[in-house]
Amino acid sequence: MGLFSIFTKKEKENVGGMEDFMTLIRVYYQSVMACNLGITNLAFLPDMAAFKRSLKIATQNNKLGIAEKSRCKKMLKEIYGMSDNFFKEVDMSIKKNCRSINDIKNYLFMFQGFSQDLMVLMGNLMKWKFRIPNIFKKTLYQLTAKTVNDVLTRTDWKDDAVRKTCSNIRKYQHTLGYSGEWMTEYVYNIVILAKKEPKPKNED
């Protein structure tokens, strides 16, 4: 069963889970790459291809990526409340780092490493703060922003592992070109969605 079989329903109901969110993020990235690089082979864009087929999105102006990018952006904004600035920074990052099709694999690998390191570190640093009830979303956002700023600026970490991970994240950030505000929005949305996920049942 594909994720996109339920996206048309979710688009109307304005709901969505974390797995769908991450899939839509990948679709957006691949759509931007298709637009920028003139990719015609859908095999290079597996998530976008599934998105296109499932929602029956017609190719616009005989160019892959244009209609798919617009539809994906609309869904991310309506379902998850992503800001225009979030998409602008993604567009600029891909334009800067993906000048040919050969750059795609390295870029996506780098983004995956950046995302994983960032989420693991934020989980370690915020811990109990992630348990703040969702009714206090503004407080959670502010705490997330403060922790992201610490990751990008603080140097006096006692834990060597934390210090090393912060260094890695800063290197990723420098290359990818994402701001602290972008990182805060990305982390915050994943945290909010993770808090909504059903907890696994204990096995006997």
Structural tokens at position 91: 């567009």
DSSP state for residue 158 in the 8-state scheme: S
**pLDDT for the residue 127:** 80
- What confidence tier does 136 reach under pLDDT thresholds 50, 70, 90? confident
- What confidence tier does 7 reach under pLDDT thresholds 50, 70, 90? low
0.75 surpassed by pTM? yes
Contact 27, 68 (CB under 8 A): yes
Higher per-residue confidence, 136 vs 21: 21
Contact 4, 51 (CB under 8 A): yes
Examine the pLDDT at 107 and tell me if it is beyond 60.
yes
DSSP state for residue 118 in the 8-state scheme: H
Residue of 58, 35, 55 whose CA lies nearest to 45: 35
Radius of gyration of the chain (CA): 18
The total number of residues shown for the chain amounts to 204
The vertex-150 CA angle with 147 and 152, nearest 5°, equals 115
Contact 24, 76 (CB under 8 A): yes
Residue 60, strand partner residues: 63
CA distance 37 to 65: 10
Taking only the tens place, the pLDDT of each residue in 87-105 is: 999 999 999 999 999 999 9
**pLDDT for the residue 43:** 87
CA distance 14 to 180: 27
The SS3 of residue 42 is helix
Taking only the tens place, the pLDDT of each residue in 36-95 is: 999 988 888 999 999 999 999 999 998 999 999 999 999 999 999 999 999 999 999 999
| CA 20 to chain CA centroid, nearest Å | 11
**pLDDT for the residue 6:** 47
